[in-house]
Amino acid sequence: MNDSRNTRSTGKTRKNQTNSEHQPRQRRRRYDLKFKLGAIKLITEQGYTAGEAARRLGIDRTNLKNWLHQLAPDFDPSVIAEALNSDDPIQLRKQLHQQRKEIERLRMERDILKKATAYFAKEQL
């Protein structure tokens, strides 16, 4: 018998495959409760959208939204939007504080990357 057979529905040829030819399935990543709560805090406390937070953490946006609905069912994103667009001096101070913390974190990341680049550049020589 021939290794390839014609299929009637598509007219395409398919080959018999052994199990060794199949791509291995990736294991599902599991996240602990601490990680999930930290991810949710990016949305509820720091004003990130689900998409932004998911990209930053390298996770799927759908997972993050599911965690949000499970662990913070009373969360209302419109409250965050109002606070971010507020002229209230208290809210503005909170925003400023958060932005300064973000700038500090980004500078620290930049410095670490600079040092790592210099280290690996020396190894190349």
Q: Round to whole Å and give the CA distance between 58 and 1.
A: 48
pLDDT tier for residue 124 given thresholds of 50, 70 and 90:
confident
The b-or-e profile of 21-56 (16+ CB within 10 A means b, else e) is: eeeeeeeeeeeeeeebeebbebbbeebbebeebbee
Give the pLDDT confidence of 73-92 residue by residue, as tens digits.
877 776 666 666 667 788 77
Give the pLDDT confidence of 20-57 residue by residue, as tens digits.
556 677 777 888 888 988 888 888 878 788 899 999 99
Identify the bridge partners of residue 13 per DSSP, sorted by sequence position: 6
Q: Round to whole Å and give the CA distance between 32 and 79.
A: 27
Q: Report the percent of the chain where pLDDT is more than 90.
A: 9
